[in-house]
Amino acid sequence: MIKVGVLGARGRVGLEVCNAVEAAPDLELVAALDKDDAIEGLQGAEVVVDFTHPDVVMGNLEWAIAHGVHPVVGTTGFDTGRLETVRGWLAKFPGTNCLIAPNFGIAAVLMMHFAQQAAKHFESVEIVELHHPNKADAPSGTARRTAELVAEARAKAGLGAMPDATSTEIGGARGADVGGVRVHAVRLSGLIAHQEVLLGGDGEILTIRHDTMSRAAFTPGVLLGVRRVRELPGLTVGLQPLLDL
Ligand SMILES: NC(=O)C1=CN([C@@H]2O[C@H](COP(=O)(O)OP(=O)(O)OC[C@H]3O[C@@H](n4cnc5c(N)ncnc54)[C@H](OP(=O)(O)O)[C@@H]3O)[C@@H](O)[C@H]2O)C=CC1
Ligand SMILES: O=C(O)C1=N[C@H](C(=O)O)C[C@H](O)C1
């Protein structure tokens, strides 16, 4: 049995994770903590799942890594600076590993992977992410990571800047620039989490779309991370390596 703690246990995703851990025969839910619960309640957990808030996740990670609890992190807001800080903490505690994935949905991971593969074949790529209006961060962690993967693939293929004649703009109209890839964020009641990657070339458009229909969609990927994190040394970013992609 793997002893699992959950941070953000009363949140939209945390609730689903607690239910999934409790239903899994090889996992034991030993702590379900939310805002205002002392983090020391994680003592005794081997793995901690974090679905909290970008403002608090770094403090949670610092505590967990220093106490030998392997974090599996869904909370977003990670840029290269934050990832470097986590690597620094892990270097001080080499027995502890950490998995940070901007999206635990298997289909979402495939969408990112397909976008990365397709990127080198197209002159233009833009990303539109669409989420529920309670989301704290924009653009989404998934969109940010997709843009980074697309930018890496374009650089590797020797592609330069995308065509764009915009010379007059109301601020924000062309979205955020993530490594040269434009990312547009929609916040709309009724949505959960959705993304389109638009790839344009010579007389052809390829659209790769992903839709999250229920937050239970994140739990198989989270449980995969919980089962595997102890054998993944250091920091792993994204679920791709666990899916043999
Ligand atoms: N990687 C992935 O696959 C996915 C990632 N996410 C990300 O996960 C995060 C959470 O999303 P979601 O569940 O929708 O958000 P919610 O706001 O529904 O849940 C977050 C929960 O964490 C609680 N919380 C706040 N601070 C702390 C703390 N210090 N310790 C413990 N709990 C705390 C919140 O309490 P209170 O409400 O009182 O502040 C709330 O109950 C976001 O960053 C989101 O982008 C979401 C879906 C999938
Ligand atoms: O806040 C959310 O809801 C989600 N957050 C993650 C992100 O920012 O990419 C994953 C998914 O999009 C749902």
Q: What is the pLDDT of residues 186-202, one digit of tens each?
A: 999 999 999 999 999 99
175 band by pLDDT with thresholds 50, 70 and 90:
very high
Tell me, in angstroms, the distance from the centre of ligand 2 to residue 99's CA.
16
Which residues does ligand 1 sit against, CB inside 6 Å? 7-8, 10-14, 33-35, 51-54, 56, 74-76, 101-104, 141, 218
Choosing from 3, 67, 120, 135, which is the catalytic residue?
135
Question: Rounded to an integer, what distance in angstroms lies between the CA atom of residue 209 and that of residue 35?
Answer: 34
- Nearest-atom index, ligand 2, CA of 131: 3
| C-beta separation of 111 from 208 below 8 A | yes
Buried-exposed string 116-153: b where 16+ CB fall within 10 A, e elsewhere: bebbeebeebbbbbbbeeeeebbbbbbbbbbbbbbbeb
29 band by pLDDT with thresholds 50, 70 and 90:
very high
Q: Which of 236, 149, 147, 228 is CA-nearest to residue 195?
A: 147
Give residue 172's pLDDT: 96
Tokens representing 102?
Answer: 């901007």
Encoded amino acid at 155, one letter? A
Tell me, in angstroms, the distance from the centre of ligand 1 to residue 123's CA.
37
Give residue 50's pLDDT: 98
- Known catalytic residue: 121? no
217 band by pLDDT with thresholds 50, 70 and 90:
very high
pLDDT digits (tens, 9 = 90+) for 81-113: 999 999 999 999 999 999 999 999 999 999 999
Choosing from 70, 113, 131, 194, which is the catalytic residue?
131
Residue with CA closest to ligand 1 atom 9? 75
Mean pLDDT of the chain: 97
Q: Is the pTM of this model over 0.90?
A: yes
Q: Where are the alpha helices (H) located in 125-187, listed in sequence order?
A: 141-156
